[in-house]
Structure 1
Amino acid sequence: MKVVKLEEILGTEHDVDGGTWVSRRLINKSDGMGYSVNDTIIKAGTETHIWYQNHLEAVYCIEGDGEVETLADGKIYKITPGTLYALDKHDEHLLRGGKEDMRVVCVFNPPLSGKEVHDENGVYPVDED
């Protein structure tokens, strides 16, 4: 069994600052679970272009507020605590922080290695190791 505490991740290589977000990678590819789990803060008032061409992601909001806009259809979804959204079709989207920082728990398949940041297209690369 593996037990991870957020405080053990802070300040390590798995505490990744993407500028508009900070993601603390709790479960990673090396843990062999087949998925990864992140505790992520989306900074208030920011906008991030994301397009996970190589991953599926489910996101559950536990604090704060924000919104997601799917670029294929221009739909905007308000995100508040208790809301889950799933990018089940590799949806290209804009993620916007609201009036206060938004804290979310993210699950990725395939799993992240734990060090990724988005490339110029909003994509995480596939970790082939």
Structure 2
Amino acid sequence: MIVRDLETAAGEGRKIVDPGGNWDSTRLLLRDDNMGFSFHITTIYAGADFRMHYQNHLESVYCMSGEGEVETLADGKRYPIKPGTIYILDQHDEHMLRATSEMKMACVFNPPLHGKEVHNADGAYELTAETVTA
């Protein structure tokens, strides 16, 4: 059994801060845990407005607190995000995420992340990232 708490995990180096200043993410479950997915608690900072395109991963995102919107760039559709909303990037959707207020999100990635990933120039996580790159 694996048992972790958010505060301890953050203090053990599992908290990654976006070099672009949009988010931080505490990675509670990672590839080395051998569960087939990773699980993170991510804070999207108020006023954040950034593009992502997970070409190598599928992601599900559940909003626990805060408000904002996600926009799919292929069709320009905008979806409001509030507590209780989940959005699922099942087609490697290129998207914009905007935070009206600070949002706390529970995120699941498949394949699982290694733990130190930050977005590359395309807004994606690399499959083989082992260290934080700025």
Provide TM-score, normalisation by structure 1. Answer: 0.95
Superposed, 1:42-57 pairs within 5 Å as 42-57=44-59
Report how many residues are paired.
Answer: 128
Superposed, 1:44-83 pairs within 5 Å as 44-83=46-85
User: How far is 1:128 from its partner?
Assistant: 7.7
Superposed, 1:50-129 pairs within 5 Å as 50-98=52-100, 100-127=101-128
Q: CA RMSD in A?
A: 1.2
Q: Point out where structure 2 has 5 or more consecutive residues left out of the alignment.
A: none
- Tell me, what secondary structure is at the counterpart of 1:11? helix
- Tell me, what secondary structure is at the counterpart of 2:32? helix
**Where does structure 1 differ by over 4 angstroms across 4 or more consecutive aligned residues?**
none
User: How far is 1:127 from its partner?
Assistant: 2.6
User: How far is 1:64 from its partner?
Assistant: 0.5
The whole-number CA distance in structure 2 between the counterparts of 1:23 and 1:83 is 19
Q: Point out where structure 1 has 5 or more consecutive residues left out of the alignment.
A: none
Q: Which residue is equivalent to 2:3?
A: 3
- Tell me, what secondary structure is at the counterpart of 2:11? coil
Query: What amino acid maps onto 2:104 in structure 1?
Result: R
Identity %: 52
Query: What amino acid maps onto 1:118 in structure 2?
Result: H
Deviates more, 1:4-13 or 1:26-35: 4-13
- The answer to whether the 8 A contact 1:13-1:115 is kept is no
Deviations 1:65-116 (A, max 9, x none): 1110100000000000000000000000001111x20000000000001110
Superposed, 1:7-18 pairs within 5 Å as 7-18=7-18
- The answer to whether the 8 A contact 2:117-2:129 is kept is no
User: How far is 1:11 from its partner?
Assistant: 3.4
Provide TM-score, normalisation by structure 2. Answer: 0.92
